[in-house]
């Protein structure tokens, strides 16, 4: 096993030109503010207070952090390290998006009194004062300090340092501070594109360090977490604690896909030592004792810089497709919203033009929703609730199908049966079951009470109308419920279309002044037509020329006569003519009783009053079937289709807008301050997203070229020299593992 700190020169120079370009571009994208809209791949450093996180960052970045109160841990800090021929330092503040404009301007204008990194603690204090930390009880900020460090010896790396987690309140930290820190840290590590650098101290029991539980909570499978162990020199040599932490470092205990790394940072007594002295002390420590057995690539600051740079580089490449997809989705959403807002409208002419465009959009989408042509992206997926609600034709057809089914199952007040089920109990809003004989008795009673000049065996035709009215009583309730469901679906669809056609501030005016009055007019027209349809079918003397009526009566006559004669033959001969087996239909084997029944049906008559009652019921039921079908079609065609659905696109048309006077136009489409602010924000977002899209398309092609290069056959690499690291061999055989 090779010793830490003896890596060859090509290992210390860890980045290729493509590598440097990729990280530079991602940082350029980040500096434009894209992180406000899209999560970018990044490495976030988190750990408990006193875990050695600051010392770890010092070693990586080459900075001297403030000691004591540790103001640098009271806000997030981005460290952008880049190698170039000229040395430079740039320090700026990225304000929290929740800041008011004046505060944002102040923070964006911040210039430190010096950029000398030897004075880094003083710079941090200036930044804290600018952010308002220490004022009015404010101890933490959601602003971000951005430090860009370039130089010939710097590696290519970007890190985000987060405030240290703590378990309980103290004189300097309240419970509110604790919640603020946990919330801030969670906002970074919960992002699926963030690599978590979880720093733990070997000085404390692993189970007592909050950062691991926090990392597991937001990265349960450990696919994007790299553990960092600090202060290994505080462990007694060959002690159980040292062995336990060695197993952790080997990824044998708490396992992460990215593994673990061990650093030996300065002790308190070594604070005055230089960076070179710190590195030599660390190298000497790892060359002896228990830690000598740990693979060189998993210990020491020099290999950590290499490792982190590779992790970030590969992570960026792997995230490019989804990152590009998110940007394109953001562009689509942003463009659609800007289209909805329209151009600035300070004059009446601009406001009227806006309403004209909105009305054209409304008519187009509403007509498509009515026609059932769902090609526009507005309609989205039919699987989603909202996507289905936008499809007015589909929704209305489904409601009308349910209406027809309700009419079939629950539209009749009485259901005639030969025998009532045992323990029968009538349920509300369902047909009441009644035996035929009981119902015929009721009809005979009504015939006696309603007798006219009809001859014996006949009935007063008005009884058919009375019986039909009673039988069709549920129709009004079912029709009213269906009408309400259709109106609700129409209003929902209209609202969704308006959301697409106009901005939120203008929609209220459009609804109040134009759409709601139009919809109320349609509702009145629909209600009038529904009442007309019901009146024609329920409240007039029965009338039909439909041959289906007479066919039904004849069929029912034959069925009733056949049933009566069958019952009599069964009583007389003891043989049922309706038996399934032909043998069971024969009387003493001499003749087929069914044949006898067929002959008798044509000649036999029943009691005259009973016959008249049965005829009356048959006429009512036959007329019910004819009127039932007529009502369903008339309601769907003449009421729903003609008076509601086909008219909805006309409630907000360009012609309506042109007829509005100037004061009405101003009241509806005058732009609010919120709308102006939103347009400005969306315009800025759109520019950032477009620039980001161009860059990511170039990076995506770059990735494809790299992958193609990786797949080309290579000459066998020489065997790893004795004492060399496996990491070196991997670098030679896989293009620095960037693919």
Tens digits of per-residue pLDDT, 352-405?
Answer: 999 999 999 999 999 999 999 999 999 999 999 999 999 999 999 999 999 999
- Would the pLDDT of 83 be above 80? no
Residue 717 pLDDT > 60, yes or no?
no
pLDDT of 725: 40
Q: Is the pLDDT confidence value at 719 over 60?
A: no
Give yes or no for a contact between 51 and 211, defined as CB atoms under 8 angstroms apart.
yes
Kind of pairing, strands 194-201 and 225-230? parallel
- Quick one: what percent of the chain has pLDDT higher than 70? 82
CA 459 from centroid of its chain's CA atoms: 66
Q: Three-state SS for 81?
A: strand
CB hemisphere CA count around 271 (13 angstroms): 9
The CA-based dihedral angle spanning residues 495, 501, 505, 506, taken in that order and rounded to the nearest 10 degrees:
-100
**What are the domain boundaries of the chain?**
17-329, 351-543+624-669
Nearest to 491 by CA among 460, 516, 457: 516
- Say if residue 723's pLDDT is above 50: no
Q: Taking all residues of the chain, what is their mean pLDDT, rounded to a whole number?
A: 82
Quickly state the pLDDT bin for 722 (edges 50, 70, 90).
very low
What pLDDT sits at residue 715? 44
Q: Report the sign of the C-alpha dihedral through residues 368, 369, 375, 378, in that order.
A: positive
- pTM of the predicted protein model: 0.54
pLDDT in tens, 473-490: 999 999 999 999 999 999
Residues contacting 253, CB < 8 A, separation 6+: 244, 247
Q: How far is CA 251 from CA 65, 247, 256, 260, 298, in A?
A: 30, 6, 7, 6, 10
pLDDT tier for residue 187 given thresholds of 50, 70 and 90 = confident
CATH number for the domain running over 17-329:
3.40.50.300
CA pair distance 484, 480, nearest whole angstrom:
6
Cα distances (angstroms) measured from residue 650 to each of 215, 375, 417, 493, 494: 57, 21, 50, 14, 11
- Number of residues in the chain: 739
Nearest by Cα to 184 from 169, 165, 198:
165
Give domain 351-543+624-669's CATH number out of 1.10.260, 1.10.1070, 2.30.29, 1.20.120.
1.20.120
Q: Quick one: pLDDT at residue 711? A: 45
Give the Cα separation of 471 and 463 in Å (integer).
12
- Please indicate whether residue 351 or residue 562 has the higher confidence score (pLDDT): 351
pLDDT for res 597: 66
- The more confident residue out of 109 and 31 is 109
Which DSSP helix (H) or strand (E) runs through 250?
Answer: none
Q: Could you give phi then psi for residue 458, rounded to 5 degrees? A: -110, 175
Taking only the tens place, the pLDDT of each residue in 279-328 is 899 999 999 889 999 999 999 998 998 888 888 888 888 888 888 888 88
pLDDT at 658: 95
- For residue 710, the model assigns a pLDDT of 46
Q: How many other CB atoms sit within 10 Å of the CB of residue 483? A: 21
Other Cβ atoms closer than 10 A to 536 = 15
How would residue 462 be classed by pLDDT, with cut points 50, 70 and 90?
confident
Contact criterion met (CB below 8 Å) for 515 and 493: no
Q: Please write the tens of the pLDDT for every residue from 133-157.
A: 888 777 788 888 988 888 887 767 7
- The whole-number average pLDDT for the span 653-671 is 92
Q: What is the pLDDT of residue 714?
A: 43
Separation CA 334–CA 684 (nearest Å) = 10
In the prediction, which pLDDT does 72 show?
A: 46
Which of 430, 443, 433, 426 is closest to 473 using CA atoms?
A: 430
**736 and 156 Cβ atoms separated by less than 8 Å:** no
């Amino acid at each position: 096993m090779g010793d830490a700190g003896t890596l060859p020169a090509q290992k210390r120079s860890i980045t290729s030109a493509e590598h440097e370009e990729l990280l530079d571009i991602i940082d350029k994208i980040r500096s434009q503010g894209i992180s406000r809209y899209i999560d970018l791949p990044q490495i976030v450093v988190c750990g408990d207070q006193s875990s050695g996180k600051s010392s770890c960052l010092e070693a990586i970045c080459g900075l001297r952090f403030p000691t004591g109160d540790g103001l640098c841990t009271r806000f997030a800090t981005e460290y952008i390290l880049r190698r170039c021929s000229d040395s430079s330092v740039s320090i700026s503040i990225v304000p929290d998006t929740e800041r008011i404009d004046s505060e944002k301007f102040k923070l964006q204008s911040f210039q430190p009194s010096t950029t000398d990194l030897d004075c880094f603690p003083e710079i941090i204090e200036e930044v804290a004062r600018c952010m308002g930390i220490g004022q009015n009880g404010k101890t933490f900020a959601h602003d971000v300090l951005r430090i860009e460090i370039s130089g010939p010896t710097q590696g290519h790396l970007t890190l985000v340092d987060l405030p240290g987690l703590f378990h309980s309140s103290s004189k300097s930290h309240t419970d509110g501070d604790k919640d603020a820190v946990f919330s801030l840290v969670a906002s970074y590590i919960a992002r699926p594109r963030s690599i978590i650098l979880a720093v733990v101290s070997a000085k404390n029991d692993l189970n007592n360090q909050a950062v691991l539980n926090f990392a597991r909570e937001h990265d349960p499978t450990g696919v994007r977490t790299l553990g960092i162990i600090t202060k290994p020199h505080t462990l007694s040599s060959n002690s159980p604690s040292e062995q336990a932490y060695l197993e952790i470092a080997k990824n044998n205990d708490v396992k992460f896909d990215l593994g673990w790394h061990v650093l030996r940072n300065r002790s308190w007594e070594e604070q005055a030592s230089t960076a070179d002295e710190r590195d030599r002390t660390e190298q000497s420590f790892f060359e002896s004792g228990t830690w000598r057995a740990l693979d060189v690539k998993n210990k020491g600051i020099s290999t950590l810089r290499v490792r982190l740079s590779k992790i970030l580089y590969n992570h960026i490449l792997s995230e490019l497709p989804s990152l590009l997809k998110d940007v394109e989705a953001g562009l689509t959403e942003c463009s659609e919203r800007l289209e909805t807002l329209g151009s600035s409208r300070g004059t009446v002419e601009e406001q009227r033009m806006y309403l004209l465009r909105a009305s054209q959009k409304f008519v187009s989408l509403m007509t498509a929703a009515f026609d059932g042509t769902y090609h526009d992206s507005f309609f989205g997926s039919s699987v989603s609730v909202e996507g289905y609600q936008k499809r007015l034709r589909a929704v209305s057809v489904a409601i009308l199908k349910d209406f027809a089914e309700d009419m079939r199952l629950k539209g009749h007040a009485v259901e005639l049966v030969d025998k009532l089920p045992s323990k029968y109990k009538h349920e509300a809003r369902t047909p009441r079951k009644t035996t035929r004989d009981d119902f015929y008795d009721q009809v005979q009673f009504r015939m006696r009470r309603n007798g006219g000049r009809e001859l014996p065996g006949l009935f007063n035709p008005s009884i058919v109308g009375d019986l039909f009215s009673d039988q069709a009583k549920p129709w009004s309730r079912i029709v009213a419920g269906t009408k309400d469901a259709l109106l609700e679906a129409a209003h929902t669809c209209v609202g969704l279309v308006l959301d697409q056609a106009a901005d939120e501030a203008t929609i209220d005016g459009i609804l109040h002044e134009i759409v709601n009055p139009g919809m109320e007019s349609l509702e009145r027209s629909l209600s009038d037509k529904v009442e007309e349809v019901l009146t024609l079918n329920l409240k007039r003397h029965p009338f039909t020329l439909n041959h289906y009526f007479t066919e039904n009566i004849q069929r029912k006559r034959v069925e009733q006569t056949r049933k009566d004669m069958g019952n009599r033959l069964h009583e007389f001969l003891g043989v049922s003519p309706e038996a399934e087996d032909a043998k069971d239909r024969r009387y003493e084997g001499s003749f087929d009783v069914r044949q006898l029944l067929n002959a008798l049906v044509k000649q036999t008559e029943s009691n005259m009053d009973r016959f008249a009652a049965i005829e009356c019921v048959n006429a009512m039921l036959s007329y019910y079937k004819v009127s039932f079908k007529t009502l369903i079609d008339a309601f769907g065609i003449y009421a729903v289709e003609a008076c509601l659905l086909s008219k909805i696109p006309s409630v907000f048309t360009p012609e309506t807008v042109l007829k509005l006077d100037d004061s009405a136009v101003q009241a509806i489409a005058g732009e609010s301050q919120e709308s102006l602010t939103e347009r400005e924000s969306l315009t800025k977002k759109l520019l950032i997203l477009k620039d980001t899209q161009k860059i990511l398309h170039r990076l995506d092609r770059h990735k494809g070229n790299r992958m193609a290069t990786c797949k080309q056959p290579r000459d066998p690499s020489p065997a790893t020299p004795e004492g060399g690291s496996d990491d070196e061999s991997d670098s030679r055989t896989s293009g620095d593992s960037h693919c």
